[in-house]
A = this chain, B = another copy of it.
Amino acid sequence: MNLKIAVLSGDGIGPEVTKESVKVLKAVAEVYGHTFEFQEALVGAIAIYEKENPLPEETLALCKSSDAVLFGAIGDPKYDNNPDAKVRPEQGLLKLRKELGLFANIRPITAYDSLLEKSPLKKEIIQGTDMVIYRELTGGIYFGEKKLNEDKTIASDLCEYSQIEIERIAHLAFKAAQVRRKKVTLVDKANVLETSRLWRRVVTALSKQYPDVTLDFLFVDNAAMQMILNPSQFDVILTENMFGDIISDEGSVIGGSIGLLASASVGDGTALFEPIHGSYPQATGKNIANPIASILSAAMLLGHFGLNEEAKRIQEAVDRTLKNNIVSVDINKENPSSTSLIGDVIAEMI
Residues on A close to B: CB < 8 A?
Answer: 75, 79-81, 83-84, 88, 90, 94, 120-122, 125, 141-142, 144, 146-148, 152-164, 189-195, 197-198, 200-201, 204, 217, 219-222, 224-225, 227-229, 242, 245-247, 249-250, 252-253, 258, 278
Contacts and interface: CB of A to CB of B under 8 A. Distances in A.
Contacts of A224: 224, 246-247, 249-250
Contacts of A242: 189
29 contacts: A79-B191, A80-B217, A81-B217, A83-B197, A84-B201, A120-B121, A121-B122, A141-B141, A141-B193, A147-B194, A148-B197, A152-B198, A153-B164, A154-B160, A154-B162, A155-B194, A156-B161, A157-B159, A158-B158, A220-B246, A221-B245, A221-B249, A224-B249, A225-B250, A225-B253, A227-B250, A228-B253, A229-B253, A250-B250
Contact of A122 (B75, B120, B162, B229): B120
A158 B159 contact: yes
A153 B166 CA distance: 10
Contacts of A84: 197, 201
Q: Which of A121, A142, A152, A224 has the most CB of B within 10 A?
A: A224
Nearest to A252: B225
B190 A80 contact: yes
A144 B156 contact: yes
Given A83-B190, A144-B156, A225 B200 contact: no
A94 B217 contact: no
A152 B153 CA distance: 33
Contact of A163 (B154, B158, B252): B154
Nearest to A222: B249
A201 to B, nearest CB: 5
Nearest to A204: B83
A189 B155 CA distance: 13
Contact of A160 (B83, B88, B155, B250): B155
Contacts of A247: 224
Contacts of A190: 80, 83
A346 to B, nearest CB: 25
A59 to B, nearest CB: 19
Contacts of A229: 120, 253
A308 to B, nearest CB: 31
Nearest to A161: B155
A280 B252 CA distance: 28
Contacts of A201: 83-84, 152
Nearest to A231: B120
A198 B83 contact: yes
Nearest to A242: B189
Given A192-B142, A217-B81, A258 B225 contact: yes
Contacts of A252: 225
B157 A153 contact: no
